[in-house]
């Protein structure tokens, strides 16, 4: 038996990276997975692969920042499944914008709209489908950038920090309704978003970024999407039945120290990365 047998799971931002790894894992564990994303072509490839492997999955177009789009998804889910068991609010964007006085208002609004408002809208319209079933698990993608700040990325920091506390608010709101709400705070994970922000493995800028992250991360490497998906599976399953209101960091130990200190000058430390 799979850990998610007979459960219906909705994953937003399912096209690539953490979302893609999660829908594949959820389907492999027995869930019927609704892969919701704005990128139709990439998601349909993932859905096809899940079906070829014997899993159950479907694609549904979703722009989490548009209320009508989220309402359409909720209507479809109610008509097709009646209720849902798992919601993984994973859709998000990120982009540098400069220091606050230079930061474009339209960029700040866009990041807040997708990352924070999108998490709110998906939760607002899909929670009633969990109430129908009498239980459920909601997982939100926060970030280590919601716990500490990054240079020139105040919009992303604000959005992810908001998700962390929004998760706790929902956990309190629905604990006695049988719905658990937790978040996952990934560190630097090897995803297409990293390629966009820092450059690919083939580019000099991307290579430099990865090397810097490898030596400053205690485990000496970037994370893999599958490692975040494994934590999402735990939170989605009944194994985490007494866990709610938590923000679980998956960052290879990066948030465990106060500042790089000796790591900045210790060549032995730098040279022990994978």
Left, alpha or beta for 140 (phi > 0: left; psi -120 to 50: alpha)?
beta
Using CA of residue 122, residue 125, residue 130, residue 133, what is the dihedral sign?
negative
Q: Are 201 and 207 in contact (CB under 8 A)?
A: yes
Q: Is 64 helix (H, G, I), strand (E, B) or coil?
A: coil
Q: Which residue among 59, 125, 156, 174 is the active-site one?
A: 156
CA–CA separation, 51 and 70 (whole Å): 25
CA–CA separation, 92 and 223 (whole Å): 18
Using CA of residue 17, residue 88, residue 31, residue 15, what is the dihedral sign?
negative
CA–CA separation, 12 and 137 (whole Å): 14
Task: Count the alpha carbons within 13 Å of 227 in the hemisphere toward its beta carbon.
Answer: 16
What is the number of residues in the chain? 274
Q: Are 93 and 145 in contact (CB under 8 A)?
A: no
CA–CA separation, 187 and 240 (whole Å): 22
Angle at 109 between CA 246 and CA 66, to 5 degrees: 80
61 in catalytic set:
no
Q: At what angle do helices 118-133 and 67-81 cross, to 10 degrees?
A: 20
CA–CA separation, 157 and 102 (whole Å): 16
Looking at the annotation, which residues are catalytic? Answer: 156
């Amino acid at each position: 038996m799979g850990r998610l047998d007979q459960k219906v799971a909705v994953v937003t931002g399912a096209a690539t990276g953490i979302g893609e790894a999660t829908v594949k894992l959820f389907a492999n564990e027995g869930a019927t997975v609704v892969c919701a994303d704005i990128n139709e072509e990439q998601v349909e490839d993932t859905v096809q692969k899940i079906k070829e492997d014997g899993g159950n999955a479907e694609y549904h177009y979703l722009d989490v920042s548009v209320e009508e789009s989220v309402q359409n998804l909720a209507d479809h889910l109610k008509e097709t499944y009646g209720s849902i068991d798992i919601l993984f609010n994973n859709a998000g964007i990120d982009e540098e914008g400069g220091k606050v006085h230079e930061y474009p208002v339209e960029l700040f609004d866009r990041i807040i709209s997708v990352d924070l408002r999108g998490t709110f809208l998906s939760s607002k319209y899909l929670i009633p489908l969990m109430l129908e079933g009498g239980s459920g698990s909601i997982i939100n993608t926060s970030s280590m950038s919601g716990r500490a700040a990054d240079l020139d990325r105040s919009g992303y920091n604000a959005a992810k920090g908001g998700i962390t506390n929004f998760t706790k608010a929902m956990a309190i709101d629905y604990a006695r309704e049988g719905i658990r709400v937790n978040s996952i705070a990934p560190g630097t994970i090897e995803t297409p978003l990293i390629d966009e922000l820092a450059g690919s493995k083939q580019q000099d800028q991307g290579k430099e970024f990865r090397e810097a992250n490898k030596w400053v991360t205690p485990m000496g490497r970037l994370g893999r999407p599958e490692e975040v998906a494994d934590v999402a599976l735990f939170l989605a399953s009944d194994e985490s039945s007494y866990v709610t209101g938590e923000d679980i960091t998956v960052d290879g130990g990066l948030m465990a120290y106060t500042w790089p200190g000796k790591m900045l000058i210790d060549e032995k430390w730098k040279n022990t990365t994978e």
